[in-house]
Structure 1
Amino acid sequence: MRAIRVASAALLGMTALTFTAPVAVVGDGHGDGHGDGNNNITSFGFSVQPSTIAAGGRVTLSVDGCGHDAKVSSGVFDTVTIPKGQPSATTMVDWDAKPGALYEVTFQCGSESGHTDLTIATGRPTNPTPVPIPPVQRGVRAGVGGSIAGFDIKEIGIGAVLIVGSVGVAWRMSRRRTADDS
Structure 2
Amino acid sequence: MPATPPAARHAKPFTSPPAARHAARPTAARRLVTVAAATLIAAATAPATLAYAIPSATVSPTAVAPGGRVALSVAGCGTQVARVTSTAFGEARLTPGNQTAASLIGSTTVFNNAASGSHRVVFECGGPGGERVTLSLQVSTGAARGGTGGSIGSMSPGQIALGSALAAGALGAGVWVIRRRTTAS
**Bin of the TM-score, shorter chain as denominator length:** 0.3 to 0.5
Structure with higher helix content: 2
Return the TM-score normalized by structure 2.
0.45
Structure of greater Rg: 2
Return the TM-score normalized by structure 1.
0.46
